[in-house]
A and B are shown apart, each in its own frame.
Chain A
Amino acid sequence: MKPQILFRNCLAPFLAMSMYAASACADVVVVVSAKSAITHLTAEQVTKLFLGKTATFPNGGNAVPIDQAEGSSIRNEFYSRIANKTPSQISAYWTKIIFTGDGYPPKQLEGNLDVRNTVANNPNAIGYIDRSVVDSSVRVILAP
């Protein structure tokens, strides 16, 4: 991790006393089921899936993104690293999409284990979790 990015993602929220509590600097990785054919995606491709700009993987398969709970530090870190967006920006983005009738944000699950288990059981799912809970049921396809 570049020092500048470390500062932005991990230290800045403490220094700024941001209203969005960041409890720890998690090491976030993007995962799919071990049963999925996907082996690697770029940050741009993952961003498009999580922001609903596409609903399919580059190989044409349906994609079901699984988000983490709003306000969680891993979610804030994921969007900061992947799309350089703050929680308010993500919230404003989905407000625009919802109230233009263009869609709804991905389903949210509570916590790394829930996301890992759901992703593991669904070959179409894509999620992000802390590296420490990765096991053989899921495949890491990007470490943003």
Chain B
Amino acid sequence: MASKDPNRGSLPFQVLLGSWSLLGLFLLLAPALVVIPMSFSAGDSIGFPPQGFSLRWYSKLFSDPLWLEALRTSVILALASSTIALIVGSLAAYSLVRGSYVGRRVIQASFMGPMIIPPVVIAVAAYLVYAKIGLLGRMEGLILAHSTLALPFIVMIMGNAVNSFDVTIEQAAKSLGANKLTVLRRVVAPALTPHLLVSWLFAFAVSFDEVVMTFFIAGRYTTIPKKMFITLRNEIDPTVTAVSTLLIAVTLVIGVVAVFALQRRLLTVVGAENPS
């Protein structure tokens, strides 16, 4: 069947391309998953295949006050920075889409900056400024830094959402006497709730995963990624496999929630189109 399609090339070529590609996919995927079986090992080293089955690395993880403290910091930091980024980023996205003022395109491009500029450059720049104004090792500084890094994702997702939202609905609300803030609060925000949720999850994930900026400016604060980074550079500690597996599980949950949120949006769109 492959040989009938003239675009597909000869059979040996097909086999070669197919096996090359399957090897490539395997090499991409395997490193992301190899730590999962390792985390349940009963052995002392990180040999593969894992020796026996146990939860010893998980119990070690949850009885270590340093890891628990890192988890606490990570969660507080991610909650605070993602919420701030969501509020200021969504307003900015709305303004960039619906507004008209000089320099709109330049401002829009600069909101993408934190995603494009190498993290280590932003981290050094922030470090030098924070050092001068006493923000190094302060929670406020960390929250500001993490909010900034999440902004591009929020502005991008919410910009697309506002762009695809029918502007005549807003105009209808305005013509019925609602002011600008009421329109945002009572019309736009409820309609775009799934996008807001997805943006917020994205921002949470960005912060929860961030290591470079945190490593430079966090001072005495330790987050989960920072502790992993420092541990990985200094020793081989199988506890990290348990942390890694839990991180994969958390990401999976976030992904599933995001998919459901977007599906609900599809249902809402279908319902809205129904002229009943």
Q: Tell whether A pairs with B.
A: no
A residues apposed to B, CB below 8 Å: none
